[in-house]
Structure formats: structure tokens, C-alpha cells
Amino acid sequence: MTEPAHVAAGEVRCPTCLYRARWSADGEVLAVEQEGGARAPDPHPTLVSWRIWHAARQGGDRVVGACPQCAMPVLSADLPWADAWTLASKHGPIRVGHDLLEGPAGALDDATVDAWMVDEFQPRFVDQLLDVRLFFVAVVLGILGLVLLGWLGAIGYLVNWFIAMANQGNFSGPVGL
Ligand SMILES: [Zn+2]
């Protein structure tokens, strides 16, 4: 069986999860060289997708499709560009492709979109600090709660003991009280 002349094949790699394979120009997987899946998109899939597209648009390897393992853009020096992707953002859907970058209001430049993406999806240091503080407060409250439960249990035990002693007419109280 002979393949059509225009169907080339090439190496693709996922910079996110380290998947590596040989694909046809149509995105058919011909051979998997490395399973990938080793890393998840961090910090946010939309920001990771944007950064890979952004770097490709600046002259890096081409984005040629989506990774079958982690759904992030895969890169290739051999294969043709993928169709544009749509990235959901609070500014509306942003279409990014080889020679396309536009939002609901029209064409955008890379610097603008990059600032938007970082603003929306990059965790801020202050937020992370807040997370740590909230975690700490939750742990302290949890410990206090357990201590309180312990005290309530002890009081309940003493009350029961008093009642039992009183009912037996042998009320002398616990030692030391
Ligand atoms: Zn991947």
C-alpha cells in the first residue's frame, strides 16, 4: 500500500508530560517512543497551552496537535502547523494559531494575551501565602476541636460517675475533689 505523496511523518514531543512519538502529518500515531504522562500541566492547563503556543509563534518548533496523554500542545520540527486552538479566558475565547491571535473584539498581540494569561492563571505569591495560612489555621482549629472534645468527654465521664455514686448512696466524690 502506497501512501499519498503529501503525507509526511515526523517526530513530535510533548514539552509538558514528555510524550514522544512519530506521527503522520494527519496526526496519526505511527510509533510511540516514550509513553509520557510523567507530568501534569502546571500551574494551569490554559496558561501552559498558551505558553507553548506563544513560544512556537516566536519561532520555536511548530504546534502540530494535542498530546494524547495530557492534552497540551505537542511540538514538531517536521510536521505542519495544527489548526488554531481556542483558549477560554475571562476576556472571552481567545483563538491562537500559527498566524492567528484574536479575541472577541478582534486581533490581539502576543504581549497583551501573555499579560492576560499570567494575570488570570498564574498563582500569585500572596494567594499561595494565604493558602498556607488558611491551612495552618485549619490545623490549629482541628487540634483545638479535638482537645475540646476530649474535655467534654472527661466532664461527661465525671458527671456519670457522680450520678452513679449518688444513686448508690455512696457519695464521696472522686479523689482530690
Ligand atoms: Zn503530554
Interval between CA 21 and ligand 1 midpoint (Å): 11
Q: What is the pLDDT of residue 26?
A: 86
Are 145 and 97 contained in the same domain? no
Tell me how far apart the alpha carbons of residues 45 and 126 are, in angstroms, rounded to a whole number: 21
Cell readout for 51 is: 505558553
**What's the CA-to-centroid distance between 104 and ligand 1, angstroms?**
29
Same domain, 160 and 170: yes
Same domain assignment for residues 152 and 117: no
Other CB atoms within 10 A of residue 28 CB? 10
pLDDT (0 to 100) of residue 4: 46
DSSP summary character for residue 79: S
118 alpha carbon – ligand 1 mean position (Å): 21
Instruction: Report the pLDDT value the prediction gives residue 35, as an integer from 0 to 100.
Output: 95
User: Predicted confidence band at 6 (pLDDT cuts at 50, 70, 90)?
Assistant: low
pLDDT value of position 167: 83
**How far, in Å, CA of 171 to CA of 109, rounded?**
86
| Average predicted confidence (pLDDT) for the chain | 89
pLDDT tens per residue, range 145-172 = 999 999 999 999 999 988 888 888 765 5
Ligand 1 ion: Cβ-proximal residues, 5 Å cutoff = 14, 16-17, 19, 36, 67, 69-70
Cα 77 to ligand 1 centroid, rounded to whole Å: 17
Q: How far is the CA of 111 from the centre of ligand 1 (A)?
A: 25
Residues 97 and 40 in one domain: yes
Average pLDDT of span 116-124: 92
Is there a single domain that holds both residue 87 and residue 130? no
Residue 151 structural domain: 123-177
> Which tens digits make up the pLDDT trace of 62-115?
999 999 999 999 999 999 999 999 999 999 999 999 999 999 999 999 999 999
Q: What is the DSSP letter of 56?
A: H
